């Protein structure tokens, strides 16, 4: 059975070109980049080459790039650094739809630091967008840092990071963005966007898992998170993950080259998939803003059915997708993103995310368009709410879910 991989916001295929450039660093070129000898030194040079390629994709300077182990480490480093740089500031502004890497960290800061922090989690509109006026109001003299994602992993909705960063900058507040979903999918030019910190993760853009980057603007106060050797100029201890760094460099080079395809070919496929599903499946609705969105992501709710059941049926055909339903979120309530957007509970449990990449084909889109509608029809046929006159409510239930 062929795998139809449409879960690229979860992780991506490592590009064959990336694997190829990585291999020598697992065999003959095993030197330590910090070594004094030529054997290690040559490895140090490729690490710097990779740093240059990553910087160039972001419109940054090479010395503003710090290698980390993953996006989560980058997020933790940025936020904790800001809090240590300004220990007297005890307020953080973030959003209700952040990835757990930021959301759970912010909610655990009191325990981590021994201080009480005030956390403002900005609400989002029903289309997942932010209210800039509300954002501006939330900033105060005691705000240490703003952390807002560039693009949402579940819906693909893009936040106005440029404007948000400018506002923070004008108030002298540090600004961090989790750009894990945005890098490689939409153009980013940090010479034009005054952010202080940016997190990215290799495996979301066809590099391997286990490599991340934290961009730190030159001049931004910085306190390291992992303390050890002098690697990364003392900003992140630990021997470099050389093979993955080389891989990430190559992946960024490819991303720069494919940025156009991402926004034309991939977007065309996504639109065909999305429009096709919305047109052929009744009671289906798009989650997230129609245009202010990543070109590869679509998140659709199918009312009166449950997401996990849809996923397992898709799995039977080798189709990989994900869902924000309660049964797949690891808790008993739908995803925090769907709840923050106020998606009605008739639809929140039946949300499916399909996220594409340059490796997807039109034939695959057609395959999903052929297989998914009958699955929804079959599950609805089985659902007590589908044809009932009191849709969404059975007798006698006292359920008052907070997701409503």
Partner 1 sequence: MWEYTDKVRDHFMNPRNVGEIANADGVGEVGSLACGDALKLFLKVDDNDRIVEAKFQTFGCASAIASSSALTEMITGLPLDEAAKVTNQDIAEYLGGLPKEKMHCSVMGREALEAAIANYRGIPLPMAEGEVVCECFGVTDLEVKRAIEENKLQSVEEITNFTKAGGGCGKCLPRLEEILREARHETKPLILDQRPGRLTTLQKIKRIEELLEREVRPALRKDGGDIELIDVDGDYVIVSLRGACGTCKKSQTTLKEYVEKKLREQVLDTLIVEEGK
Give whichever of 219 and 395 is closer to partner 1, judged by the CB atom: 395
Q: Residues in the site for partner 1, rule: CB under 8 A? A: 110, 113-116, 304-309, 312-313, 316, 325-327, 331-334, 345-346, 349, 381-385, 391-404
Which residue's CB is nearer to partner 1, number 279 or number 401? 401
Take residue 158 and report the two structure tokens written for it: 């893009």
DSSP-assigned letters across all residues of 142-203:
TEEEEE--SB-TTT-BBP-HHHHHHHHHHTT-EEEEE-TTTBTTB---TTTS--SEEEEEGG
Least distance from partner 1 to the Cβ atom of residue 77, Å: 22
Catalytic residue check, 70 = no
> Which residue is catalytic, options 70, 252, 327, 403?
327
**330: Cα separation from own chain's centroid:** 18
Name the residue nearer to partner 1 (CB basis): 212 or 350: 350
Pick 27 or 398: Cβ nearer partner 1:
398
Q: Which is nearer to partner 1, 203 or 380 (CB)?
A: 380
Task: Report the nearest approach of partner 1 to the CB of residue 113 (Å).
Answer: 7
Q: Nearest Cα to 186, choosing from 218, 214, 157, 222?
A: 157
Q: The tokens 């029809």 sit on which residue?
A: 377
- Tokens (6 digits) for 385: 């709410």
Compute the least distance from the CB of residue 385 to partner 1, in Å. 6
What is the smallest separation between the CB atom of 382 and partner 1, expressed in angstroms? 5
- Rounded to a whole number of angstroms, the minimum distance from the CB of residue 24 to partner 1 is 35
CB of 306 to partner 1, least distance (A): 5
Alpha helices in 59-177 (DSSP H): 71-85, 100-107, 109-113, 132-138, 161-170
Angle between the N-to-C axes of helices 100-107 and 71-85, in degrees from 0 to 180, rounded to the nearest 10: 40
Residue of 257, 245, 288, 115 lying closest to 187 (CA atoms): 257
Cβ-based nearer residue to partner 1, 49 or 308: 308
97 vs 103: CA distance, rounded Å: 8
Cβ atoms within 10 Å of 223's Cβ, excluding its own: 13
Alpha-carbon torsion 77, 206, 359, 60, what sign?
positive
Catalytic positions are 327
């Amino acid at each position: 059975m062929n795998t139809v991989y449409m879960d690229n916001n979860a992780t991506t295929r490592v590009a064959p070109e990336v694997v190829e450039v990585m291999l020598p660093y697992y065999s003959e070129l095993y030197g330590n980049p910090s070594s004094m000898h030529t054997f290690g030194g040559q490895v140090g040079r490729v690490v710097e080459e990779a740093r240059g390629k990553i910087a160039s994709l972001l419109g940054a300077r090479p010395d503003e790039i710090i290698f980390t182990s993953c996006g989560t480490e980058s997020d933790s480093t940025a936020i904790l650094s800001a809090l240590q740089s300004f220990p007297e500031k005890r307020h953080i502004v973030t959003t209700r739809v952040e990835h757990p890497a930021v959301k759970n960290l912010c909610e655990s800061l009191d325990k981590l630091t021994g201080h009480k922090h005030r956390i403002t989690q900005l609400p989002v509109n029903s289309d997942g967008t932010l209210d800039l006026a509300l954002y501006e109001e939330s900033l105060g003299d005691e705000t240490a840092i703003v952390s807002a994602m560039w693009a949402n992993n579940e819906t693909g909705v893009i936040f106005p990071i440029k404007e948000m960063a400018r506002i923070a900058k004008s108030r002298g507040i540090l600004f961090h963005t989790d750009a894990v979903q945005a890098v490689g999918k939409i153009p980013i030019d940090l010479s034009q966007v005054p952010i202080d910190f940016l997190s990215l993760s290799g495996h979301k853009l066809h590099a391997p898992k286990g490599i991340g980057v934290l961009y730190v603007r030159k001049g931004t106060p910085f306190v390291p998170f992992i303390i050890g050797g002098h690697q990364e100029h003392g900003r992140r201890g630990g021997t470099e993950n050389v093979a993955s760094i080389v891989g990430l460099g190559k992946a960024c080079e490819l991303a720069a080259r494919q940025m156009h395809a991402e926004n034309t070919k991939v977007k065309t496929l996504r639109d065909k998939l999305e429009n096709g599903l919305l047109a052929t499946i009744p009671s289906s609705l798009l989650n997230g803003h129609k245009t202010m969105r990543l070109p590869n992501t679509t998140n659709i709710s199918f009312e009166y059915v449950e997401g996990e059941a849809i996923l397992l049926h898709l799995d039977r055909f080798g189709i990989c997708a994900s869902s924000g339903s309660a049964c797949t979120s690891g808790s008993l309530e739908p995803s925090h993103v769907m709840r923050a957007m106020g998606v009605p509970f008739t639809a929140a449990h039946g949300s499916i995310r399909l996220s594409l990449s340059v490796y997807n084909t039109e034939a695959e889109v057609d395959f999903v368009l052929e297989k998914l509608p009958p699955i929804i029809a079959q599950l609805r046929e089985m659902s007590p709410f589908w044809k009932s006159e009191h849709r969404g409510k059975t007798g006698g239930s006292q359920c008052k879910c907070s997701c409503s």
